[in-house]
Amino acid sequence: METLIFGTGGMGRAIAAAVAERGWPAPHLRGRPATGRHEPATLPVVDVVFDASRGSAVKDNVAAALAAGNRRFVVATTAWEADRDDVAALLVEHGAAAVAAPNFSLGVALFARLVEAAARLFGPLAAYDPFVLEWHRRTKTDRPSGTAKELARRILAVHPRKRRLVEPDRNGAPAPDELEVAVIRAGASPGMHVVGFDAPGETVELRLTARDRSAYAAGALAAAEWLLGEPRSPGLHGFDPIVDALVAGGSVSIPKATASVLTEVRR
């Protein structure tokens, strides 16, 4: 499988390492261009394009790769929500498909489903107040993380009393219908998320801690294989269909790191 990776930071390097582990040809790596934008004429036509750059670059990267002739994308970065509709329109216009997710870890995807189930269970119990806490490396710029936003979205969708997030930088206690999302930016942590339900006599917590980016890269490769498995409708696709196929033991080829996670899940 020929691949192009936008972004030479931690996530881009993790995807490149996963590609090498699979025995695929060495990826074409593209860092941030001096001009600020990639020229289509300088980009190869490949089986799948991975974007692991930064949120503000996603729209321009996709546009350049489309102009070069590419038609399959895995968007593995966050903080590009403002351009999401424009990116989707570009993909449809060119008959191209992309899988996009705030986090491509299978563990995170299943964790989010556990969080949603927990919010349904604890929601009717007024004593249990939900919260989200996330900790990432000091240099991570978006806050909250895309994963924390997704966890909060799932809680708000099913919780009977929570309707909105606490307004950032506002003093005072949150309103009863507000969900608190706390952010830590310190050190070198690749990612930790805690969802809790706190009551006067006890606290119940669900926690997921990443040790490195290998799980994210494994999921991104699984998304790429899903795109190649059969023709996909133009536009943006979520990660859930890939997760469903992996958990069901479907036809998506599973990278080694993901396969080991699935083995543990099924036990």
Active site residues: 136, 140
> What is the 3-state composition of the chain as percent helix, strand, coil, each rounded to the nearest 5?
40, 20, 40
> Which amino acid appears at position 56 of this protein?
S
Rg value, the chain, Cα: 19
Select from 195, 213, 187 the least CA-distant residue to 103. 213
Nearest C-alpha neighbor of 64 from the set 47, 49, 79, 82? 49
* 12, 83, 89, 90 from 95: Cα distances, Å: 25, 18, 10, 9
In the block, tokens 């990432």 appear at 136
Write down the residue that tokens 């799932």 correspond to: 154
Helix (H) or strand (E) holding 178: strand 178-185
CB-count exposure of residue 92 (10 Å: 0-12, 13-18, 19+): middle
Please report, as a single letter, which amino acid is at residue 116: E
The sheet that has 164-165: what strands, in order across it? Answer: 164-165, 178-185, 129-136, 192-199, 202-209
Using DSSP's 3-state secondary structure scheme, residue 140 falls into coil
CB-CB contact of 238 with 100 (8 Å): yes
Residue 201 phi, psi (nearest 5): -100, -10
